[in-house]
Amino acid sequence: MAGLSQGQVAKLLEMHRPTISEIEAGNRRVSAEELSRFAEIYDVTVPWLLAETAEQLETDDPRLQLAARELAKLKPDDLDRLLRLLASMRGTDSEGEGNS
């Protein structure tokens, strides 16, 4: 549900729009339940919401956004296998490329 307005998110979360604005600005703490509901609305994981900004995918390409959401749902072993497959498709070794 990307591209929602603050008003739409507020309605989905049964909050007031200024509350959403305060959360976005970092001026209001979010409860665990609220965080879970945000993740559900935006179809991302809670850890993704908590990640540092530099680690979050910044792209306007909806295919990459979809891929990131799906990757976040993989088990660690499956993600490792997929990274090795991608590396072999590029003809490079995935070891030592910063994937932890």
**Domain contains 24:** yes
**Domain contains 14:** yes
66 with 83, same domain: the answer is yes
pTM above 0.75, yes or no: no
Name the pLDDT band for 19 (thresholds 50, 70, 90): very high
**Domain contains 8:** yes
Name the pLDDT band for 15 (thresholds 50, 70, 90): very high
Residue 93 has which token pair?
């070794």
Region for 98 from its dihedrals, namely left if φ exceeds 0, alpha if ψ lies in -120 to 50, beta otherwise: left
**Domain contains 84:** yes
Look up residue 57 and give its DSSP letter: -
**Domain contains 100:** no
- Domain residues for the domain of 64 are 60-94
| 83 vs 55: CA distance, rounded Å | 17
| 4 vs 30: CA distance, rounded Å | 19
| pLDDT of res. 99 | 47
Query: Residues 31-54: pLDDT tens digits?
Result: 888 888 988 888 888 887 877 544
